[in-house]
Amino acid sequence: MTHSERAAELFHALADPTRLEILDELRAGECCVCELMDRLQAGQSRLSFHLRVLKEAGVIQDRREGRWMYYAVNAEALAELGDLVDSFKQAKRARRVAGCC
């Protein structure tokens, strides 16, 4: 996976209102799926889908406890995200003007 593919994966995971609402809930600590269903008024398979997208991008982690799955934000991913955004802010050395057209 190239650098920009990985970055795109990370941003894509955040590019959906439902997933952002999930993350907002998780900011208050880890949370099981049924509680998320309650809070977001979202169907089970819909949530499961979005949780998987977030998890595959590394944005959240899960942990089983009995029949419940608890999801939590993955701090590493947030750091990665912060670094990405910082890199946007950092100017590159200017290219020589290429005379393209």
78 binding DNA? (CB under 7 A): no
Exactly one of 68, 76, 85, 87 binds DNA (CB under 7 A); that residue is 68
Q: Which stretch binds DNA (CB under 7 A): 20-28, 49-57, 73-81, 82-90?
A: 49-57
**The entry of DNA, its own copies, none that residue 41 binds, CB within 5 to 8 Å by partner kind:** none
- Dihedral over Cα of 38, 39, 45, 51: its sign: negative
Mind giving me the DSSP string for 34-82? Answer: HHHHHHHT--HHHHHHHHHHHHHTTSEEEEEETTEEEEEE-HHHHHHHH
- Which positions lie near DNA, rule CB under 7 A? 12, 15-16, 18, 32-34, 37, 43-53, 62, 64, 66-69, 101
